[in-house]
Amino acid sequence: MDGDFGTEFGDDAADQGLQFHPAAAITPDQGMGSEAYDNLWIVENDRVWDLGPADLDTDADGLADSLTRTGPAGMTVYTDTDQDGQVDLITEVNRDGGYRTSRLDPGSGQWTATDSGRLE
């Protein structure tokens, strides 16, 4: 992820009504259990993007863990796989069928591309 996350597929954060907070506002004890952060969020440099509440259960465990944002060029699925509130898996699918997936390395805080290709 870089400073323009979500913009490649037309998901400009300003257009989606996303909110950001200083990263210093997030402490280790805040996550899904904190009333202020029941939404999914992403830390990017010195900002925390509040994406809103999860509304999809992608792993069929009975708990919503993902949300989808669409734009003119495609869609992005944000997933919290460990249920701490922080998005750690992002899948982008563009209109022509190309896709890519990135996973957050919790140790370094860096995003790593894990898969890409074309939906047939």
Question: Helices (H) and strands (E) in the chain — how many of each?
Answer: 0, 8
Q: Report which of 42, 43, 71, 72 is spatially closest to residue 54, judged by C-alpha positions.
A: 42
10 CB burial (10 A radius; 0-12, 13-18, 19+): middle
State the amino acid at position 90 in one-letter form. I
Rg (CA), the chain: 14
- Is pTM beyond 0.75 here? no
Distance CA(95)–CA(77), nearest Å, equals: 14
pLDDT in tens, 44-57: 888 888 999 999 99
Segment 63-103, tens digit of pLDDT: 999 999 999 989 999 999 999 999 999 999 999 999 999 99
Which three-class secondary structure state does DSSP give residue 25?
helix
49 vs 41: CA distance, rounded Å: 5
